[in-house]
C-alpha cells in the first residue's frame, strides 16, 4: 500500500512540529505528514528543562549572543548560520508565546529571562524548569488546528527511498500497532528525530533517542558532520542519568567536591563569589565543567558511590522559596529518584551524555546534499553549535531551523515533480528485509547484550577525554559487534506492537552512528570543545578549523573528509571564562 504527501516529516518533537506548522501556515495547499515512532507529545523535547535563549532584555545585543555562541563552540560554528539563528530566535520565542507557551513572567507581565552557562547576559527564556515540556505541548496542541497535517503516530521509518536522479522521494515505514509496512511517497522529506545519546551507557536521553534520522541519512549516503563532538552535561543524577538543569546553577547553585570546596576555581573558570557571576565558575560552559570533573576524580577529590564517582550540587543556600518557584522539577526529581530534598541536602551529580553537536550535514536552509532531503534540530548539524553547544541554544535551534527547513522543503516540494514510482523495487526490497528480520529464528546474541557492549565501547573510546589507542580499540570492538548484530536473536515474530523488532532496527542505527563517531574522533588529531584528545591536547586551527564529514562507504566503513568553517566577523580567539 502506498500513501502520498507533499512533505513527510520524520519525527514529531519541537523541530518536526515547528516545520509542520510552518508548512501548514505558509503553504496550505500542501499535504504534510508527521511520521513518528511515538505520539508527538512523548518526544524527547519534553525532557528539556532550563530554557531557550533569545535576546530580549535591555542592554543585551544580538552580537553578544553571537560571540558567546561562537566562543562556546570553540570557533567551529558557521558564523553566517549563527547570525541568522540569533536574529530569528527572539521572534520564534514570541511566536511560541502567542501560541500559548506559559513562559515565566516578571511581575509587570513581561517575559522573564535567567542566566545560563557561557552566556554573558541574561537571555534565557524559561517556563519554570519544564521549558521543553511546555514548548512541546504548545506546539503539539497548536498543530492540531491545521487540517493539512496528517499524523502517523507510532510508525517507524526504516528507509529513505531515492530515485535514479539521487532525489529523495519518500520513506518506508511500519505501523507499530499492526506491523503494516507501507511506502509513504513525498516530494520532500525532513528528518527531525533528535539525537543519539542512547549509544552511550549513561545519558540524559530518552529511550527513543537512538539517532534514527541520522542513520537513515547516513545509509542513504548523505554525510554526517562533526560527529566527534558529544556533549557531556556536568550534572546528571547517578544511576538514572536524569538531568539536573543548568538553571540550578544559574539560580545560584554551587559545585562542591568531597571537601565541600568549589573546585571549579582550580580550572581557569574564575574565582568563587557567593552569588552567580555570568560566564564564570558554575556558569562556565558544559565542556569545561565536565572536563574539570575528570581531573577531580584523578586528584581523588570526588565521592565514591555504587554508580561511580560523584561531586555535589549544593542548592541549600537558595532556600525553599526560590527552589519551589524556579526549580520545582529539580526538587520533584531529587525527591522521587534520589530520595533527597535539595532544600536541605546535597545533590550527587556526575557528567552525563546529553547532546550531539554533530548530525546530518545541512546548509543554512536545512538542506542536505541529497536533493529533497532536509534535516533540523539535534538530528541536523547546520552548524551553529560548533564543538560545544551552550545551554538553552538547542530549543530555539529546533524552532528557528525547524521553521526554515520546513519552508525550504515546502518550496522544493512545490517546484518539483511527483515521485514516479521508480523506487518501487527499493520499497519492495525493504519490505522483504523487514519481513525476514521479523521472522528470523536462527539469531544468536540478545539485542540487549550487543547494545550494552556498544555503549561500553563508546564510553571507553569516546568519553570526555580520548586518545588514539582507546579510540582504535573501540573501532575494533564495534566492527566485531556489527557482525554479531547482523545475526542478533529475535524472539518476537508478531505483527502486533513488536518492540523487539523496533529494538533490532534501532540497534543497527546505533551501530552505524557509533562507528561514525569513533571514526570522526580518530581523525581529528587536535582538542577542541567537547573533543579532547590527550595525545593532541592543543587546538590546531591550521589543520582543523574545519567540519568533519563522515561518509558511508559501500563496504560499510566510514570515510572522513573536511569542509571549511564559515567565519564572518569573529576570527578564532581564546575562550575566556571567569575573567
Partner 1 sequence: MADTITLLVTRYRPDTEAEPTVAEYEVPLRKDWAVLDGLNHVKDQLDGTLSYRWSCRMGICGSCGMTVNGEPRLSCATFLTEFAPGPVRVEPLANFPIVRDLVVDIDDFLRKLPTVKPWIVRHVDWVEDGEYLQTPDEQSAYQQYSMCINCMLCYSACPVYGVDPDFLGPAAIALAQRYNLDSRDHGAADRLDVLVHPEGVWGCTFVGECTRACPKGVDPAGAIQRYKLTAAMRSVRALLLPWGAR
Question: Binding string to partner 1 for residues 465 to 494, with x set by CB under 8 A, is what?
Answer: ------------------------xxxx-x
The smaller minimum CB distance to partner 1, of residues 204 and 361, is found at 204
E strand map for 211-366: 224-225, 230-236, 254-256, 311-314, 347-356, 359-361
**Which of 64, 80, 97, 459 forms a contact with partner 1 (CB under 8 A)?**
97
Q: How many residues bind partner 1 (CB under 8 A)?
A: 60
Report the alpha-carbon distance of residue 262 to residue 369 in Å, rounded.
Answer: 47
Report the alpha-carbon distance of residue 260 to residue 312 in Å, rounded.
Answer: 8
- Quote the cell numbers at residue 183: 511506502
Question: Binding string to partner 1 for residues 208 to 237, with x set by CB under 8 A, is what?
Answer: x-----------------------------
Containing H/E element for 2?
strand 2-10
Cβ atoms of 263 and 295 within 8 Å: the answer is: no
Which residue is listed with cell 509513504? 184
Q: Which residues pair with 168 in a beta bridge?
A: 162
Cβ atoms of 263 and 292 within 8 Å: the answer is: yes
Burial of 554 (0-12, 13-18, 19+ CB in 10 A): exposed
**Which of 69, 79, 142, 361 forms a contact with partner 1 (CB under 8 A)?**
142
The smaller minimum CB distance to partner 1, of residues 39 and 557, is found at 39
State how far the alpha carbon of 16 is from the alpha carbons of 139, 398, 401, 406, in Å.
10, 8, 10, 8
Mapped onto helix, strand or coil, the DSSP state of residue 159 is strand
Q: Does 105 bind partner 1 (CB under 8 A)?
A: yes
Report the alpha-carbon distance of residue 177 to residue 157 in Å, rounded.
Answer: 14
> Is 249 an active-site residue?
yes
Which residue is listed with cell 557509533? 514
Question: Binding string to partner 1 for residues 242 to 281, with x set by CB under 8 A, is what?
Answer: xx--------------------------------------
Closest CA to 420 of 222, 208, 234, 162: 162
Question: Binding string to partner 1 for residues 521 to 540, with x set by CB under 8 A, is what?
Answer: --------------------
Cβ 95 to partner 1 shortest distance, Å:
5
**Which of 144, 320, 486, 576 forms a contact with partner 1 (CB under 8 A)?**
144
**Which of 496, 542, 571, 579 forms a contact with partner 1 (CB under 8 A)?**
496
Cβ 442 to partner 1 shortest distance, Å:
15
Q: Does 434 bind partner 1 (CB under 8 A)?
A: no
What proportions of the chain, in percent to the nearest 5, are helix, strand and coil?
Answer: 40, 20, 40
Burial of 187 (0-12, 13-18, 19+ CB in 10 A): buried
Cβ atoms of 242 and 204 within 8 Å: the answer is: yes
Label residue 45 left, alpha or beta by phi (over 0 means left) and psi (-120 to 50 means alpha). alpha
Where in 448-467 is the site for partner 1 (CB under 8 A)?
A: 448
**Which of 5, 18, 42, 187 forms a contact with partner 1 (CB under 8 A)?**
42
Q: Which residues pair with 224 in a beta bridge?
A: 360, 550
**Which of 3, 80, 95, 343 forms a contact with partner 1 (CB under 8 A)?**
95
The smaller minimum CB distance to partner 1, of residues 100 and 418, is found at 100
Cβ atoms of 186 and 512 within 8 Å: the answer is: no
Q: Does 495 bind partner 1 (CB under 8 A)?
A: yes
Cβ 511 to partner 1 shortest distance, Å:
17
Q: Considering the candidates 65, 159, 249, 286, report the single residue annotated as catalytic.
A: 249
The smaller minimum CB distance to partner 1, of residues 492 and 526, is found at 492
The smaller minimum CB distance to partner 1, of residues 127 and 516, is found at 127
Which residue is listed with cell 530580549? 56
> Is 233 an active-site residue?
yes
Mapped onto helix, strand or coil, the DSSP state of residue 242 is coil
Q: Does 308 bind partner 1 (CB under 8 A)?
A: no
Label residue 556 left, alpha or beta by phi (over 0 means left) and psi (-120 to 50 means alpha). left
**Which of 3, 64, 84, 102 forms a contact with partner 1 (CB under 8 A)?**
102
Q: Considering the candidates 233, 350, 528, 533, report the single residue annotated as catalytic.
A: 233
Q: Any idea what the Cα angle at residue 96 is, between residues 130 and 392, rounded to 5°?
A: 50
The smaller minimum CB distance to partner 1, of residues 118 and 241, is found at 241
Cβ atoms of 192 and 202 within 8 Å: the answer is: no
**Piece in contact with partner 1 (CB under 8 A), picked from 132-140, 212-220, 518-526, 563-571:** 132-140
Q: Does 239 bind partner 1 (CB under 8 A)?
A: yes
The smaller minimum CB distance to partner 1, of residues 56 and 546, is found at 56
The smaller minimum CB distance to partner 1, of residues 313 and 490, is found at 490
Report the alpha-carbon distance of residue 53 to residue 86 in Å, rounded.
Answer: 9
Cβ atoms of 127 and 137 within 8 Å: the answer is: no
Cβ 89 to partner 1 shortest distance, Å:
13
The smaller minimum CB distance to partner 1, of residues 367 and 434, is found at 434
**Which of 137, 225, 312, 547 forms a contact with partner 1 (CB under 8 A)?**
137
**Piece in contact with partner 1 (CB under 8 A), picked from 90-98, 180-188, 245-253, 382-390:** 90-98
- Quote the cell numbers at residue 208: 527513543
Q: Which residues are catalytic?
A: 233, 249
Q: Which spans of this chain sit near partner 1 (rule: CB under 8 A)?
A: 38-39, 41-44, 46-47, 91, 94-95, 97-100, 102-103, 105, 107-111, 130, 133-134, 137, 141-142, 144-145, 153, 177, 206-208, 239-240, 242-243, 329, 332-333, 336-337, 446-448, 489-492, 494-500, 503
Amino acid at each position: 500500500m502506498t500513501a502520498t504527501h507533499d512533505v513527510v516529516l520524520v519525527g514529531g518533537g519541537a523541530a518536526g512540529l515547528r516545520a509542520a506548522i510552518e508548512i501548514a501556515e505558509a503553504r496550505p495547499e500542501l499535504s504534510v505528514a508527521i511520521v513518528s515512532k511515538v505520539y508527538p507529545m512523548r518526544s524527547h523535547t519534553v525532557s528539556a528543562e532550563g530554557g531557550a535563549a533569545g535576546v530580549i532584555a535591555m542592554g543585551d545585543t544580538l552580537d553578544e549572543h553571537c560571540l558567546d555562541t561562537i566562543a562556546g563552540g570553540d570557533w567551529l560554528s558557521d558564523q553566517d548560520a549563527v547570525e541568522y539563528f540569533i536574529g530569528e530566535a527572539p521572534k520564534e520565542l514570541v511566536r511560541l508565546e502567542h501560541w500559548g507557551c506559559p513562559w515565566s513572567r516578571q511581575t509587570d507581565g513581561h517575559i522573564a529571562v535567567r542566566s545560563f552557562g557561557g552566556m554573558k547576559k541574561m537571555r534565557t527564556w524559561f517556563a519554570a524548569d519544564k521549558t521543553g515540556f511546555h514548548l512541546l505541548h504548545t506546539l503539539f496542541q497548536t498543530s492540531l488546528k491545521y487540517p493539512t497535517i496528517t499524523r502517523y503516530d507510532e510508525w517507524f521509518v526504516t528507509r529513505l527511498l531515492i530515485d535514479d536522479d539521487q532525489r529523495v522521494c519518500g520513506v518506508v515505514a511500519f505501523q507499530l500497532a499492526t506491523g503494516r509496512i507501507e511506502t509513504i511517497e513525498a516530494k520532500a522529506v525532513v528528518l527531525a528525530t533528535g539525537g543519539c545519546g542512547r549509544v552511550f551507557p549513561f545519558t540524559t536521553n530518552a529511550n527513543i533517542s537512538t539517532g534514527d534520522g541520522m542513520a537513515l541519512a547516513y545509509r542513504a549516503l548523505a554525510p554526517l558532520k562533526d560527529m566527534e563532538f558529544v556533549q557531556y552535561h556536568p550534572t546528571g543524577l547517578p544511576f538514572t542519568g536524569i538531568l539536573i538543569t543548568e538553571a540550578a546553577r544559574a539560580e545560584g547553585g554551587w559545585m562542591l567536591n568531597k571537601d565541600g570546596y568549589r573546585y571549579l576555581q582550580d580550572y581557569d573558570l574564575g574565582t568563587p563569589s557567593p552569588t552567580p557571576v555570568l560566564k564564570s565558575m558554575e556558569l562556565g560552559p558544559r565542556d569545561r565543567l565536565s572536563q574539570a570533573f575528570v581531573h577531580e576524580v584523578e586528584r581523588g577529590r570526588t565521592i565514591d558511590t555504587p554508580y561511580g564517582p560523584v561531586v555535589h550540587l549544593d542548592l541549600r543556600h537558595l532556600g525553599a522559596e526560590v527552589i519551589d518557584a524556579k526549580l520545582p522539577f529539580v526538587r520533584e526529581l531529587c525527591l522521587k529518584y534520589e530520595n533527597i530534598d535539595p532544600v536541605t541536602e546535597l545533590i550527587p551529580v556526575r557528567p552525563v551524555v546529553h547532546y550531539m553537536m554533530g548530525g546530518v550535514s545541512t546548509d543554512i536552509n536545512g538542506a542536505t546534499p541529497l536533493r529533497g532531503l532536509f534535516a533540523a534540530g539535534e538530528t541536523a548539524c547546520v552548524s551553529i553549535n560548533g564543538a560545544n553547544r551552550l545551554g538553552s541554544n538547542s530549543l530555539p535551534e529546533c524552532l528557528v531551523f525547524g521553521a526554515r527547513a520546513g519552508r525550504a522543503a515546502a518550496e522544493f516540494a512545490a517546484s518539483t515533480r511527483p515521485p514516479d514510482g521508480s523506487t518501487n523495487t527499493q520499497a519492495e526490497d525493504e519490505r522483504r528485509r523487514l519481513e525476514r528480520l521479523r521472522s528470523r529464528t536462527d539469531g544468536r546474541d540478545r539485542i540487549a547484550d550487543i547494545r550494552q557492549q556498544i555503549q561500553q565501547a563508546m564510553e571507553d573510546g569516546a568519553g570526555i577525554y580520548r586518545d588514539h589507542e582507546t579510540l582504535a580499540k573501540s573501532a575494533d570492538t564495534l566492527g566485531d559487534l556489527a557482525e554479531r548484530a547482523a545475526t542478533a536473536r529475535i524472539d518476537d515474530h508478531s505483527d502486533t506492537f513488536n518492540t523487539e523488532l523496533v529494538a533490532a532496527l534501532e540497534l543497527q542505527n546505533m551501530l552505524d552512528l557509533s562507528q561514525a563517531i569513533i571514526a570522526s574522533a580518530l581523525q581529528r588529531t587536535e582538542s577542541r570543545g567537547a573533543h579532547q584528545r590527550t595525545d593532541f591536547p592543543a587546538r590546531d586551527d591550521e589543520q582543523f578549523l574545519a567540519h568533519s564529514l563522515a561518509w558511508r562507504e559501500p563496504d560499510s566503513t566510514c570515510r572522513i573528509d573536511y569542509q571549511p568553517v564559515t567565519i564572518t566577523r569573529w576570527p578564532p580567539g581564546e575562550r575566556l571564562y571567569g575573567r
